[in-house]
């Protein structure tokens, strides 16, 4: 798998809904491509479309959108750029089309082909945008939406990789969540800061990673305010159900405002991680140790970074010691971020040692690449992917990749006998797996297996 780092960092910005609509979302506007080819079909249902409008009208924090900025000189962008497209939606397609439909009044066509208007469900009944009062319209259109703009020119394959990372996290390992600044968790926390993250968590942002923070907030609230019925009323949750979630007797499922649910792995990139957190918190709870929400967020982030569940004994020590740190720090008027740093360092001392680093990937010298190409295709400039049999171009300046039969991660070397010419897609999809294993499963007829 490629772990490229773009040449230009992402830019975090924001636009009001009104501006975004006028510039990019209005019917007929071509500036923003909501459906680049790597995007899935729109999958939201009516209650989700309406729920987003309701969330905005309630002033809830909406998680980051990710746009890719097109470049006139970038080969993969040329056609779209000439058609007037300047941005591509990498994350937020469902949310943006719901907003566009609500404002324009044009219904959304659902997967069964039926047209559904997007409305704001009020106690008095559904309201269309045109029915809003001037103040309500102003409220809605002045709401700021956070946007991360990918500035570096990327190929479509790289954009697909970014999209996949944002959607289900599968191609990147957990430690990469925090390093990968385009992941919604890192973006959300790095953009809003800890204090506002807590605030957003308690108020309950509603989509994607926001749902996970909502469930996290529920756990925190439940632990901090056991038996406090009003808190649950505020969060619009059922306490007995949350207790079941936390005790892990059933999969992590929780209602969020407007009945948004965290149920499918597709919607829940961090399901496994979150389950780990729940399990650990459940075990700690058995020992009757109280903890502060700071601890929970630090622990959550540590799990993101290391992907390791700390042993409960060590956590107990940490929870006990951090209580004093939090009290001291808060009295001293310290900032959340500083406190977070202290707790994080303190927790690190209680965590198991980090796993050994992966073997380093070394660039394959040009001479060896040329030799590999010549071995398979002689002097031809077109070859065949040794997995999927797709056409590849080489040796110099082509689109071919050199895949490792025994993966670098498994100790495979850059020897000619360990390298096979493939297309980019096969090499990237294979990831850190041995090509031989991956290919046997995905392309049993692969030339290099049968040769
Ligand atoms: Zn291929």
Whole-angstrom Cα distance, residue 391 to residue 406?
23
Residue of 341, 261, 352, 266 whose CA lies nearest to 301: 341
Compute, in angstroms, the gap from residue 419 CA to the centroid of ligand 1: 14
- pLDDT > 70 fraction of the chain, expressed in percent and rounded: 64
pLDDT digits (tens, 9 = 90+) for 178-221: 344 444 444 555 444 444 554 444 443 333 444 445 555 555 44
pLDDT of residue 207: 36
CA of 383 to the centre of ligand 1 (A): 11
Quickly state the pLDDT bin for 436 (edges 50, 70, 90): confident
Q: How far is the CA of 437 from the centre of ligand 1 (A)?
A: 15
Q: How many CA atoms lie within 13 A of 221 on its CB side?
A: 25
| pLDDT score for 237 | 45
- pLDDT over threshold 60, residue 306: no
Residue 443 CA, ligand 1 centroid: distance in Å: 9
CA of residue 431 to ligand 1 center, whole Å: 13
Distance (Å) from CA 79 to ligand 1 centroid = 25
Distance 42 CA to ligand 1 centre (A): 28
How many Å lie between the centroid of ligand 1 and the Cα of residue 99? Answer: 39
- Please provide the DSSP assignment of 168-232 as one string: H-TTS-HHHHHH-TTSHHHHHHHHHHHHHHHHHHHH---STHHHHHHHHHHHHHHHHTTT-HHHH
CA of 370 to the centre of ligand 1 (A): 19
Statement: residue 303 has pLDDT above 70: no
Q: How close is the Cα of 424 to the center of ligand 1, in Å?
A: 7
CA of 75 to the centre of ligand 1 (A): 21
pLDDT at 412 > cutoff 80 = yes
Per-residue pLDDT band at 40 (split at 50, 70, 90)? low
Ligand 1 centroid to residue 245 C-alpha, Å? 43
Query: Worst-scoring range by mean pLDDT, 52-66, 116-130, 221-235, 366-380?
Result: 221-235
At residue 304 the predicted structure's pLDDT band, cuts being 50, 70 and 90, is: low
User: How much is the mean pLDDT over the chain?
Assistant: 73
Please report which confidence band the pLDDT of residue 52 belongs to, taking 50, 70 and 90 as the band edges: confident
Q: What's the gap in Å between 4 CA and the centre of ligand 1?
A: 20
Residues within 5 A (CB) of ion ligand 1: 385, 387-388, 390, 423, 426
Q: What is the pLDDT of residues 55-94, one digit of tens each?
A: 888 777 777 788 999 999 899 899 999 999 999 998 888 8
What pLDDT does 274 receive? 57
324 CB-contact burial (10 Å; exposed 0-12 / middle 13-18 / buried 19+): exposed
Quote the CA–CA distance of 261 and 210 in Å, as a whole number. 11
Q: pLDDT, tens digit, for every residue of 121-168? A: 887 889 999 999 999 999 999 999 888 899 989 888 778 777 766 654
**439 Cα: distance to centroid of ligand 1 (angstroms):** 10
What's the gap in Å between 261 CA and the centre of ligand 1?
38
Cα of 374 from ligand 1 centre, angstroms: 18
For ligand 1, the distance from its centroid to the CA atom of residue 176, given in whole angstroms, is 26
Ligand 1 centroid – CA 384 distance (Å) = 8
Domains for the chain: give ranges and CATH numbers: 11-168 (no CATH), 187-350 (no CATH), 366-450 (1.10.30)
Average pLDDT over residues 371-388: 93
Whole-number Å distance between alpha carbons of 260 and 103: 22
pLDDT tens, 345-367? 888 888 776 666 667 778 888 89
The CA 199 to ligand 1 mean position distance, Å, reads 47
Averaged pLDDT, 323-330: 75
CB–CB of 207/95 below 8 Å? yes
Q: Give residue for tokens 């989509």.
A: 207
pLDDT of residue 101: 96
What's the pLDDT score for residue 126?
A: 92
Distance 385 CA to ligand 1 centre (A): 5
Is the Cα torsion angle 286, 291, 294, 298 positive or negative in sign? negative
| Residue 89 CA to ligand 1 centre (angstroms) | 27
Q: 369: CA distance to ligand 1 center in Å?
A: 17
What is the Å distance from ligand 1's center to 446 Cα? 9
Q: How many angstroms separate the alpha carbon of residue 423 from the centre of ligand 1?
A: 4
Alpha-carbon distances of 137 from 51, 97, 182, 353, rounded to whole Å: 17, 18, 31, 54
The gap from C-alpha 297 to its chain's centroid, in whole angstroms, comes to: 17
Q: So what's the pLDDT on residue 430?
A: 87
Q: How far is the CA of 234 from the centre of ligand 1 (A)?
A: 53
């Amino acid at each position: 798998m490629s772990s490229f780092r773009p040449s230009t960092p992402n830019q975090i910005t924001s636009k009001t809904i009104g501006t975004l609509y006028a510039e990019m979302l209005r019917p007929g506007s071509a500036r923003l491509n909501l459906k680049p080819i790597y995007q899935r079909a729109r999958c939201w249902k009516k209650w989700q479309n309406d729920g987003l409008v309701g969330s905005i009208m309630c002033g809830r924090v909406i998680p980051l959108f990710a746009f890719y900025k097109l470049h006139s000189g970038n080969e993969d962008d040329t056609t779209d750029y000439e058609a007037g497209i300047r941005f591509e939606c990498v994350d937020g397609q469902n949310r943006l089309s719901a907003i566009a439909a609500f404002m324009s009044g044009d219904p959304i066509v659902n997967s069964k082909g039926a047209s559904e208007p997007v409305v704001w469900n009020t106690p008095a009944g559904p309201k269309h945008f045109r029915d809003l009062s001037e103040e309500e319209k102003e409220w809605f259109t002045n709401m700021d939406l956070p946007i991360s703009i990918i500035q570096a020119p990327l190929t479509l394959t790289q954009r697909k990789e970014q999209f996949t990372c944002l959607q289900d996290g599968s191609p990147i390992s957990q430690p990469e969540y925090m390093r990968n600044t385009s992941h919604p968790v890192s973006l959300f926390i790095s953009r809003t800061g800890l204090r506002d993250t807590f605030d957003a968590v308690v108020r309950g942002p509603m989509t994607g990673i926001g749902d996970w923070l909502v469930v996290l907030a529920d756990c925190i609230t439940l632990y901090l305010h056991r038996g406090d019925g009003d808190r649950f009323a505020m969060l619009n949750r059922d306490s007995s159900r949350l207790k079941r979630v936390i005790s892990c007797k059933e999969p992590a499922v929780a209602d969020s405002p407007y009945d948004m649910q965290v149920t499918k792995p597709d919607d829940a990139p961090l399901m496994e991680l979150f389950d780990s957190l729940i399990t650990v918190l459940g075990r700690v709870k058995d020992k009757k140790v109280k903890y502060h929400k700071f601890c929970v967020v630090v622990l959550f982030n540590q799990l993101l970074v290391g992907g390791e569940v700390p042993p409960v004994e060590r956590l107990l020590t940490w929870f006990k010691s951090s209580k004093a740190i939090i009290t001291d720090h808060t009295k001293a008027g310290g900032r959340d971020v500083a406190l977070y740093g202290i707790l994080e360092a303190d927790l690190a001392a209680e965590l198991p040692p980090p796993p050994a680093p992966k073997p380093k990937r070394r660039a394959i010298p040009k001479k060896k690449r040329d030799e590999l190409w010549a071995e398979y295709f002689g002097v031809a400039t077109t070859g065949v992917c040794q997995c999927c049999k797709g056409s590849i171009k080489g040796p110099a300046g082509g689109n071919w990749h050199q895949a490792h039969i025994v993966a670098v991660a498994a100790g495979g070397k850059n020897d000619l006998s360990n390298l096979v010419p493939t297309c980019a897609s096969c090499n990237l999809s294979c990831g850190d797996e041995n090509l031989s294993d991956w290919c046997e499963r995905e392309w049993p007829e692969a030339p290099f297996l049968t040769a």
